[in-house]
Amino acid sequence: MSGSISEQQAVIEAAVKEATALISVAPDAASIRTAVNAATGKKGTLAAVKSGLGRVTDLELRKTLGQAVNEAIEAVERAATAREQTVKREAFAGAIAADRVDMSELALRTGGRRGRMHLVTQATERLEDVFVGLGFRVAEGPEVETDFHNFEALNMPPSHPARSMWDTLFVDQDPQGSVVLRTHTSPVQIRVMQEWPPPIYAVMPGRVFRKETPDATHMPVFYQIEGLVVDRNITFADLAGTIEAFTKAFFGEGFTSRLRPSYFPFTEPSAEFDIRRHDGSWIELGGCGMVHPRVLAAAGLDPEEWGGFAFGFGIDRMAKERHGVEDIREMYSNDVRFMEQFS
C-alpha cells in the first residue's frame, strides 16, 4: 500500500463522493448498482484500499482506516437504497400519469360548460325521493312487454273494448300472446306482485309508448310513475291521503288534489286525479283506484286476504306543471338553451 494515512483517507472520501454523485443522478436500478460496484465492488476503488490494509503495521492506524472503509461502504449503500426508492416511486408516478384519462378535456373543449340532468330525470328523482320518504320502494319493469302483463293480467282479456283506451304499438302479434311497447307502467304492478311477497309499497317509474301525434300536451313516448300498495285493510281513504300527501310534498303546501270518479279495468272503484294550480284551475295528472280483485288473482295473490290501491301519472306532465313549460315538445327538442334554464 502506498501513500500516507491522510492520502488513504482522501482516496476513501473521494470514492464516496464520486459514488454518491453518480448514484444521485442514476436513472434506474441497474445504473445505481453499477455506480455502487465501481466504489465497493471487488475491483472497486475501496477494495484497493481495503486490500492494502494488511500492509499497515500500526495497529491503531489499521483499525482507523478499516473503520473508514466500512463506513464508506455503508454510506454508499445508504445512498443507493435511498436512490432506489426514489427511482421506484418516480417510475410508479410516471406509469400512473401515463395511464391517466383526462376527463376534463371535453369540458375544456366545450368552454368549461357543465352538463345537467334532463327535466324529466330531475322530476323522476324528486318523485322517487318523495315516495321513498313515505315508505315506498322503487321498482322497474321492461319497456317491451308481453300482452299478458300490459293487458290481460290487468283485467283486459283479448278483444276487450277497454284495450282501445290505449293506442298500442305492437312489436309482435301472435294469437298465443303479442308483444307490445308498454302503453303504461301498470304492467310493473303485476311483475312486482309476482316477485315480492306482500305487504307491498312500491313506485315504478319508466318510459311508456303510445301511437300518438305529438302536440302541446301529448308525446308518443313519455314517462309515468306507477304506485302500488298491497296490504291488509287498505281503504280508499288511504289512497286519497297518499295522493294528497304526495301533492303537497312534490308541488308545495299551497297545492291540493281532488279525485273524480272514472273507469279503469284494473281498479274498482277508479278515479282520475287532478291538482289545483295557483290560478285556481285544475289539471289532470293521472288515474288511480282500488286494485281490482281479478288483478290480485292474476298476479297470484288471494283477493280475500289482500287488498290495495294503485295510481299512475305522467312525469313529463308534472315536470311541465312544476316549471311552467308551455309545450311538452320543448322537453324533447334537445336544445341546451331550454335545458339550461332548469339546472
Give me the residues paired with residue 119 across strands.
Answer: none
Who contacts 258 (Cβ-Cβ below 8 Å, separation ≥6)? 273, 274, 275, 276, 282
CA distance 293 to 170: 28
Stretch in the footprint of ligand PHE (CB under 6 A) among 30-38, 90-98, 99-107, 310-318: 310-318
Reported in sequence order, the residue ranges of the chain that DSSP labels E, i.e. its strands, are: 137-138, 144-146, 169-172, 179-181, 200-209, 221-231, 257-264, 267-276, 282-291, 307-314
> Using CB under 6 A, which of 267, 290, 296, 307 touches ligand PHE?
267
Near ligand PHE by CB under 6 A: residue from 131, 151, 201, 311: 311
Q: How far is the CB of 132 from ligand PHE (least distance, A)?
A: 19
Tell me how far, at minimum, the Cβ of 186 lies from ligand PHE, in Å.
Answer: 4
CB-wise, 124 or 186, nearer to ligand PHE? Answer: 186
Residue pair 224/313 in contact by the 8 Å Cβ criterion: yes
* Residue 186 in the binding site for ligand PHE (CB under 6 A): yes
Minimum separation from the CB atom of position 286 to ligand PHE (A): 6
Q: Which is nearer to ligand PHE, 104 or 213 (CB)?
A: 213
Q: Residue from 246, 312, 317, 318 that binds ligand PHE (CB under 6 A)?
A: 312
- Work out whether 131 is an interface residue with ligand PHE (CB under 6 A): no
* Cβ atoms within 10 Å, residue 215: 10
Residue 98: what residue type?
A
Residue closer to ligand PHE, measured from CB, 206 or 287: 287
Displacement of CA 314 from its chain's centroid (Å)? 24
Among 205, 286, 307, 308, binds ligand PHE (CB under 6 A): 286
Site residues (CB under 6 A) for ligand PHE, limited to 41-100: none
Q: Are 193 and 230 in contact (CB under 8 A)?
A: yes
Q: Binding ligand PHE by CB under 6 A: which of 131, 222, 264, 273?
A: 264
Q: Is the peptide bond before 199 cis (omega within 30 degrees of 0)?
A: yes
Beta strands in 46-186 (DSSP E): 137-138, 144-146, 169-172, 179-181
**Smallest distance, ligand PHE to C-beta of residue 272, A:** 8
Q: Per the structure block, which three cell numbers stand in for 327?
A: 309545450
Shortest reach from residue 339's CB to ligand PHE, in Å: 27
Q: Footprint of ligand PHE on this chain (CB under 6 A)?
A: 184, 186, 264, 267, 286-289, 310-312
